[in-house]
Amino acid sequence: ALLLLETAFAIFIYSPHKSRLKRLAEHPPPLTREEREALFERCIANIPDLERYLLLWFLGADPAEIKRDNVRDFILWAFFDRDGGNPTPYADEPLSDQDEELDAYIHRVETLLGRALPPGRGSAAPLRLTIDPISIRYHSIIWYAIIGFIDLTTHALLRFHGFAYHSPRPTTTQALTATFPPTPFLRTLPFPLAKRHTSPSSIPYWYRPHRSPTHRPILFIHGIGVGLWPYTAFLSSLAASQIGIIALELLPISARLTSPPVPRETFLAHLASILAAHDDFAGPLTLVSHSYGSVLTTHILHSPDLSPRVESLVLIDPVSILLHLPDVAYNFTRRMPKGANEWQLWYFASMDAGVAGALGRHFFWRENIIWREELAAVGTREGEGAGGKRKVAVCLAGRDLIVDTGSVARYLLGEGDFAASVDAEEGAGPPDGNVDWDLEGPEGVEVVWFAGLDHAQVFEGRKSRERVVELVRKYCAVNR
């Protein structure tokens, strides 16, 4: 019976989701040449080690095989969203202009390397996240049954602590079965804790009313994993202070077979409708995000409508800072696992069909990257708009297996471009990475270092979790 069930699951549920991964990515609108040049110069000025940068983006290839045309292919993807094998120019840009621009970028790379790239094409292939074929591993129906049980347990715990679940209203039979495990079904089970409300958008979320007169409400965005289960103790501790919380539930990155992530503008519109549905979230709020949640945080901070409402910000294990560096893409999608934590990340996250699809076809680095001054600037990109400063804290793990947290810390604590900060070496960079510390950079960003912890482990231990809870309470205080 189990074999028949597994076969039916593989054919009728898993295979359709797997076939969707063969579709091409729909990249965001192209930048103008001036915008590309500015972005290129900003990225190239914030690379701590250009040789290592190229080596990782080319998956550890022999440096002698990283030749001029190979680098050209990488730049075509990174800044033009193009495949080097088919470098079609933009409609308003002649091919000759595109070639001239590419040659200028390659010459800039050669100047910083202090050597000319060998002519021609070598055997090295660059990592092109949104163009390369997507690799996944089959996850059985037993695994998804476990996810369903975890989901139900999470539901009971959050309901116990005063949270109410708001799910999109299914309108058709197809909508009811579009997510596996079928989350809407779990929310309608016949017992009191299964009570649910309707979300005003297609994004499900958990809501706890705001009753604290001394704190601002919190918007929380989780990371890749199994949904909100790893955060239940964290959210419950914050709820004990009567602080209102909206915790989004991002099903495409939560070990589900479901619809892909919505585009940036759609997400922002849905979030605005969620906030508008709750009067206690009509004013300023504190935004807290973990890991992949920092990507959606970037979109919020770049939004002229939502950015001014973010009075303070706490990023935990963010992946969006210095996202032009290869570490996040390489470590999450290409590195061959060795240790137990790497195998766990590889099989249950990197090779998950939903996560792999979200990253391989819907993760556009230039939309998702955030720069140091944009964290604190209230307004749109480059701080335009409402103006002013927000309070920002960034929590980093000393042994993060995904993010180069040492470089991120040095960048946040430095001034000017990364290269200038490192060359100056006067107060730039973190202290001993083997001990916990807490410092504030010139831009007013507080960096909190958790020595000895890996990515997401800050939520596992009571001591580290309470440290983050107190930090969030401090940042959402109305006098902060």
pLDDT for 387-417, tens place per residue?
578 999 999 999 999 999 999 999 999 877 7
CA–CA gap between residue 429 and residue 405 (Å, rounded):
11
* Residue 90 shares a structural domain with residue 167: no
Model pLDDT for residues 204-219, shown as the tens digit of each residue: 999 999 999 999 999 9
57 assigned to some structural domain: no
Q: How many domains, the chain? A: 2
What local confidence, expressed as pLDDT, does residue 94 receive? Answer: 61
* Residue 105 shares a structural domain with residue 167: no
* Residue 40 shares a structural domain with residue 164: no
Model pLDDT for residues 318-335, shown as the tens digit of each residue: 999 999 999 999 999 999
* Residue 211 shares a structural domain with residue 311: yes
What local confidence, expressed as pLDDT, does residue 421 receive? Answer: 53
Q: Edge-to-edge strands of the sheet including 445-450? A: 196-198, 164-167, 205-208, 245-248, 218-221, 285-290, 310-316, 391-397, 445-450, 437-440
Q: How confident is the model at residue 93 (pLDDT cuts 50, 70, 90)?
A: low
* Residue 97 shares a structural domain with residue 151: no
What local confidence, expressed as pLDDT, does residue 98 receive? Answer: 85
* Residue 99 shares a structural domain with residue 161: no
What local confidence, expressed as pLDDT, does residue 95 receive? Answer: 59
* Residue 255 shares a structural domain with residue 366: yes
415 assigned to some structural domain: yes
Task: Give one word for 315, left, alpha or beta, with left for phi > 0 and alpha for psi -120 to 50.
Answer: beta
Per-residue pLDDT for 30 more than 70?
yes
352 assigned to some structural domain: yes
157 assigned to some structural domain: yes
Domain containing 458 — which CATH number? 3.40.50.1820
6 assigned to some structural domain: no
Q: Which amino acid is at 4?
A: L
What pairing do the DSSP bridges indicate for beta strands 196-198 and 218-221? unpaired
Q: pTM, whole model, 2 decimals?
A: 0.92
* Residue 366 shares a structural domain with residue 302: yes
262 assigned to some structural domain: yes
Average pLDDT over residues 246-251: 97
* Residue 191 shares a structural domain with residue 245: yes
Q: How confident is the model at residue 383 (pLDDT cuts 50, 70, 90)?
A: very low
Per-residue pLDDT for 174 more than 60?
no
Coil vs helix vs strand at 15? helix
Helix (H) or strand (E) holding 437: strand 437-440
Domain that holds residue 424: 146-475
* Residue 109 shares a structural domain with residue 152: no
Average pLDDT over residues 257-281: 96
Per-residue pLDDT for 124 more than 90?
yes
333 assigned to some structural domain: yes
97 assigned to some structural domain: yes
Per-residue pLDDT for 90 more than 60?
no
Q: How confident is the model at residue 178 (pLDDT cuts 50, 70, 90)?
A: confident
The mean of the pLDDT values for the chain is 90
* Residue 205 shares a structural domain with residue 321: yes
* Residue 81 shares a structural domain with residue 172: no
Q: In angstroms, how far is the first alpha carbon of the chain from the final one?
A: 59
Where is average pLDDT lowest: 366-370, 416-420, 440-444, 476-480? Answer: 416-420
